[in-house]
Structures are given as C-alpha cells and as structure tokens.
Amino acid sequence: MAVPRAHAGHRLRCVLAVVCALCWASSSVRFVAGQAGQLSVDASPQTARKMPDKMFGIFFEEINHAGAGGLWAELVSNRGFEAGGPNTPSNIEPWFIIGNESSIIVGTDRTSCFERNPVALRMEVLCGSKGTNVCPSGGVGVYNPGYWGMNIERRKGYKVSLHIRSSDAVSLTISLTSSDGLHKLASRTITGGKKQFTNWTKIQFRLYSSQNNTNSRLQITTTKTGVVWLDQVSVMPSDTYMGHGFRKDLASMLANLKPQFLKFPGGNYAMGQYLRNAFHWGETVGPWEERPGHVNDAWGYWTDDGLGFFEFLQLAEDLGASPVWVVNDGASINEEVPTAIIASLVKYCYHLLGLPCIFMLVVFQDVVDGIEFARGGVNTTWGSVRAAMGHQQPFKLDYVSIGNQECWMLYYRGNYQKFYSAIKAAYPDINIISSCDKSTISASNPADLYDVHVYASSANMFSRTSMFDNTPRSGPKAIVSEYAVTGNDAGKGTLVAALAEAAFLVGLEKNSDVVEMASCAPLFVNDNDRKWSPDAIVFNSWQHYGCPNYWMLHFFKDSSGATFHPTTMQVSNYDQMVASAITWQSPKDKSTYLKIKVVNFGSKAVDLNITVTGLESGIKSSGSKKTVLTSGAPLDENSFEQPEKVAPVLSPVADAKQQMGVSVSPYSLTSFDLLLEPSKHSAI
C-alpha cells in the first residue's frame, strides 16, 4: 500500500464526500419511491467468456498490526528483546519489571547465543526467599502483556519456549496470569543447579489454562538470588490454522473467501521508509530464534519476522492460493539505489550517497535466490534451507511483482529491467508484474502483468465500473492488487463503501479479458492500532468481525474461473445500478448456477424484470437462492457489539425461471443464484 498523494481533484472529491456523508447521516436514509427496470442476460455459448482462474484473491500487508499481534499467532511482543535496537542498554518495551530496585535490576547486554540477535535480557535478583532482603510475595522478574493483552482460553494448550543462562542456581516460574498478575491461569517452575544453565539452554513445555481470560500476560518470576539471562521468549497457541502458526479464527475468515492468490508482504512494508528497514526475505527464514526482526518503519512498529517469507508461502498453500511475491527493487519511500550501482554491487553501502554506511541486500540475485528458496529442489542452496524448515516439496511460486507503485521514481524503470532480465534468465516461466501502466510496456520494457492501485471516494469508485472499458484488448493484463474506497463516507467500513467497491468489481468482471487479478487493501486491522481505515477484517486479542466490504467479497468468490455472460441494464433516469452474470459450478455437489449480481448504489428501490436468453438448459423452479447485503442506512458499519449489522442475508427464490420479476432494495448488493437443469448444461 502506498499513501495517496493529495491534489486539487482529490480535495474536491473529499468536499463532495463530506457533503454526501452529512446528508446521509442526517436523513436516517430517505429512500425514494421505487421504479421499474429491465435486466437482460445473454447466456448463450457464443457470447460467453471464461474468466481468469485467479481473478479474485487477497493482498496482505504488515500494516495495522495485521500480522504481528494478529494473523501470526505469537502472543509475546518483542520476544527477543531486539526492538530497542542493537545498542545496550536498550528499551525492552512492552516488557515490564516486577519488583523495585531494592529487589531486582533489569537491563540488556549483548551476550545472546544468537549471532544476528545479540541482545539478551539480564536480571540481577537482589532479594531471596529468606534473609534480610526477602522477595515480595509472588517473586520478582518481568512480564509481557503481548499485543494489548493475551487471549488465553480454558483447557487449550500453549507452547512456551525460552532460552536461559545463569551461573547461579535457577528457580524460574513461568506463568500465564490476569493483566494485574494476581490470578494465575497456568504456570511451570524451571529449576536447576549452578552448572545446569552455565551455557544457554533452550527450555520448551506446554501450559494449559484453568480458565478464560482475554486480557492476560506472561510472567517470569523468581525468589532466588542471582543473575539470570533470558532470550527468545515465545508463547504460541497449540491450536493454529493447519498447524502452521496462524491464528485460527482470522485465517479461517480468509479461507472462507476462497482466494485464488495471495499477494505479500506489501505495500509500503516491502519498501520501508528507509532501505535498512525494508522486508529482506533472507532474514525472515530459518529458525525463528535466529531471525533478527526489523522495524516496520512504514507503519511504525517492530516485527520479529516470525511471519516471514516461508510463512507467507505456507499460508498461500494452506489457502489454496497462488503466492504473488512483491520484491524490493532497491527503493524505499525515501531512497533509491541507482541502476548502475544495483547492477554491479552485491551489497549497497549508503556512504556512496554521503549517508551512514548501512548494508542491505537489494540486488536482483537476491530475488533469484528467493525464488530458489520457494521452488528449488532439496539439493539446491536455498531449497535445502526450505526443506530444513519442514517443507520438502517446492512451493508453487509463479508470480513476482517488482516494486510497489514506484514507476514515478527516477531509477525504477532501469532497475526493473535488470530484475526482469535476471529473473527470466533463471526462471523464464515466472510471471513478472510491473508497477508501470500498460502504456509504458513494450518490447524494450516487457512485463507479463502490470499493477494498478485504485483509491477513491465511494462515488468515484462507483463510476470506475467502466475504468477498463476502453483498454486495448491486446498486450499484458492488469492486476488490480490494491483497491479501496477512502474518505469520509468510507468511515471504518461502511455499507456504501462496500457497494461502490462491488460496482467496481462488477466492472472488472466485465473486463476480465484485460484484467487478470484483483484484491482489496488493506486486509486486516488490529482495533488497537488503526494506521489506516477502512479495512476488511477488524480484530483484537480475542474478537473479530468482517466489515461490509469483507462480506461483499463473498459475492465474488465463485467468479474465478467461472463463465462470464453479457448483461444489459435499463432503468429510466436512474444510473445507480450495475449488474453482471456468470455461470459457476458448486464444488460440493457439482450443481451449476447462473449467478446474477445487481448493485443498487442509489436511494431508489427498483422493480427489476430479469430476462435470461441463450441457456442450453433451463432453470429449475426450486433450489435457487437470493443473497442480499444491505442495511438501514448507507453509512452503517459493523462493530464488536454488532458484528453482523451489515451482513448477507440468504433466502430461497420461489419459482425461479428465465423471465421473472424481482425487487431490488436501495443501497444493496443482491445475488440471484439460479440452479440450472443438469441434463443439457455443461460447465465451460
């Protein structure tokens, strides 16, 4: 995701959006009396067109704590004590000290056993269980509240891992407790003599909670005098999605969309404000303890990179989606590596620009190595690393996006061509995506796809249903990898924003001969860290809900690989409706449906006469269904208190046929799934 740049037209649209929002907010929705309209669907084989198999997918960016403290199920924040930087003593937030300076001194030093994670926590315990300086009841130590509280569930297992070093006898109690530390949910005491922990020792065990608590914390306490070092402290739920470390409820919401591709890891997150903080895939693979982590300076928080390149590939596989990897091409939001340098250096040093010397990998060979990590055999250099992580078979990585909305930058095109040539030389079948638009692509500047980002007000987004109508039908296709309604009427995810996006997607279906893929942005937001609104899925430590645009996406999850049919909409003096039609086959029972989607973006109810022609077989009178997404007001939103205030409502369609009258509500998205007779119809 890139931050949109303001201009005069944008400011005017914002003013208009404010006026519209005020009108809607003050009217409690004044729906206008209905009128009649005609929708014709040509379902003949002659006009049918197969839609791309990967038409609709999802785009994940580490923004709004979407991964760290969200989709990635790790409960400990700053588990390696590295977030304060490499210098010591450093800030250890959000770790807090239990006890005062008379009983414990806590700091950091660089004595860790991990070369790329040198910082460790040092606890000097001054009190004891007896004598003149007795420890407080419960002991002294440190605690970690996780990401705005840990959700601990009764009888569920939690895998605890930590590294310990001490020359003294050790007695550490590791506990899951209430937020004030007064009530223990589960605990284990680790003991050892003076010699047992002289060297760094990894301890692993499971804790099982005796009760539920949505705002818990991890405590490490002791009443034994001495010095103890801690490092790489982790608490992971045992029950994660597909057993691969993803928070089960959030990953299931993604799976329910049936995404055909997963684009990652950004967005601005892939770039960083500065290159030293860009996403460098090679530092995010291998054992999690050895990953250095980095500051997500694009969105303002630390990430330990537990959700790394391997995990993104694994998530795509678990969802049945094709991974689309966004690679850093030598540009951050504030910097660029000149093409001449990127073509010749393995590592780029900032002193060439008169800045401090900070090394980072940006060259195209690094990207080729990343593809080898994903696709290489177990005997290749990087394929063997993947295999050691537990995935013997290669991942199916077929798409690489070079950069993130960077065509305007000085060196993008030169760097792009270097990356394109290097990737194609090693992997000619990889589909390469350019950040430049179609007009710039040529034999000397080739691309398999070109990336399009669309951020607009709801009215403007609705008008973009025709955005690709006049696009030349030859040449590379578009991947609309980021689209979203923004502005005042978008709120934190309103009905009207979802309807505008639905109309835009209807336009993409219509133009699926020149649009290959599409995904919304952003996908997730932790309600405690809203860097961007609106988002599709909102969550905290224990709750989640889908915004109206999340539910809207369900209307399009059967479109990938389906058959598109032309439609004609006629409603006199009312231009607020768009429609599309597809035939798709249910994977459950192989039944075939004609799906007709109708977006009503306006305040009028419409009595619509639907006529379907050209079907090879008829529509069954029973077994059809109607799904409607609407609400009492255009600016209605969902919330933790009302998670399905705006959600699809399913009902049967009585006496479905090729010509029928239906009523379409104001401000609504309606889908008619008409069950087709099986005898004559065959799916395309």
pLDDT-derived band at 358, boundaries 50, 70, 90: very low
Mean pLDDT (the chain) is 92
Residue-level pLDDT at 490: 97
pLDDT in the model for residue 531: 95
> Sorting pLDDT into bands at 50, 70 and 90, what band is 1?
low
Above 80 in pLDDT, residue 84? yes
Say if CB 73 and CB 252 are below 8 A apart. no
pLDDT at 321 over 80: yes
Give the span between the Cα atoms of 268 and 300, in whole angstroms. 11
Determine contact, residues 325/400, Cβ cutoff 8 Å: yes
What residue type is 454 in one-letter code? V
So what's the pLDDT on residue 354?
A: 39
**Model confidence over 521-536: pLDDT tens digits?**
999 999 999 999 999 9
220 pLDDT higher than 80: yes
The whole-angstrom separation of Cα 77 and Cα 303 is 8
Cα distances (angstroms) measured from residue 108 to each of 165, 232, 278, 484: 13, 13, 26, 43
Is 355's pLDDT higher than 60? no
Q: What are phi and psi of 250, to 5 degrees?
A: -75, -40
Residues 552-599: tens digit of each pLDDT: 999 999 999 999 999 999 999 999 999 999 999 999 889 999 999 999
How confident is residue 353, by pLDDT bands cut at 50, 70 and 90? Answer: very low
- pLDDT for 621 equals 87
pLDDT tens across 95-108, in order?
A: 999 999 999 999 99
Burial class of residue 126, CB neighbours in 10 A (0-12, 13-18, 19+): middle
The length of the chain is 684
659 to 38, 149, 204, 608, 656: CA distances (angstroms): 11, 56, 66, 11, 8
What share of the chain has pLDDT > 90, as a percent? 87
State which CATH number among 2.60.120.260, 1.10.3260.10, 3.30.420.130, 3.30.70.360 fits the domain covering 96-237.
Answer: 2.60.120.260
For the segment 263-281, what is each residue's pLDDT rounded down to a tens digit?
Answer: 999 999 999 999 999 999 9
Burial class for 103, CB neighbours closer than 10 Å (0-12, 13-18, 19+) = buried
Q: What is the pLDDT of residue 21?
A: 44
Residue 33 reports pLDDT greater than 80: no
Q: Residues 6 or more apart from 99 whose CB is under 8 A from it? A: 127, 135, 136, 139, 140, 141
**Among 662, 654, 653, 658, residue whose Cα is nearest residue 677:** 658
Pairing of strands 201-208, 301-303: unpaired
Res. 357: pLDDT tops 70: no
Mean pLDDT calculated for residue range 415-436: 96
Label residue 311 by pLDDT band (50, 70, 90).
very high
* CA gap 465, 458 in Å, rounded: 12
The domain spans of the chain are 35-53+561-675, 57-73+240-340+396-554, 96-237
Prediction pTM value? 0.93
Tell me which of 211 and 24 has the higher pLDDT.
Answer: 211
The percent of the chain in helix, strand and coil, each rounded to the nearest 5, is: 20, 35, 45
Q: Tell me what pLDDT residue 341 has.
A: 84
Q: Is the dihedral of CA 535, 260, 363, 336 positive or negative?
A: negative
pLDDT at 177 over 90: yes
Q: Which tokens is 233 given?
A: 């402290």
Residue 132, helix vs strand vs coil? coil
Q: What is d(CA 190, CA 177) in angstroms, rounded to the nearest whole number?
A: 17
**The two structure tokens encoding residue 328:** 């850093």
The secondary structure of 172-217 as a DSSP string is EEEEEEETTS-SEEEEEEEEE-TTTTSS-EEEEEEEEBSS-EEEEE
What is the C-alpha to C-alpha distance for residues 446 and 430, in angstroms, rounded to an integer?
13
Structure token digits, residue 663: 């009523």
Is domain 57-73+240-340+396-554 in CATH 3.40.710.10, yes or no? Answer: no
**pLDDT at residue 4, rounded to an integer:** 42
Beta carbons of 135 and 223 less than 8 angstroms apart? yes
On the question of pLDDT at 24 being above 70, the answer is: no
Say which CATH architecture domain 35-53+561-675 belongs to.
Answer: Sandwich (2.60)
Q: Cα–Cα distance between 259 and 494 in angstroms, integer? A: 22
Average pLDDT over residues 92-97: 97
- The C-alpha atoms of residue 81 and residue 302 are separated, in whole angstroms, by 11
Residue 624 has pLDDT above 90, yes or no: yes
- Residue 117's CB: how many other CB atoms inside 10 A? 22
pLDDT higher than threshold 70 for residue 13: no
Provide DSSP, 638-654: --SSSTTSS--EEEEPT
Q: In whole angstroms, how far apart are CA 163 and each of 229, 289, 299?
A: 8, 10, 30
Average pLDDT on 156-166 reads: 98
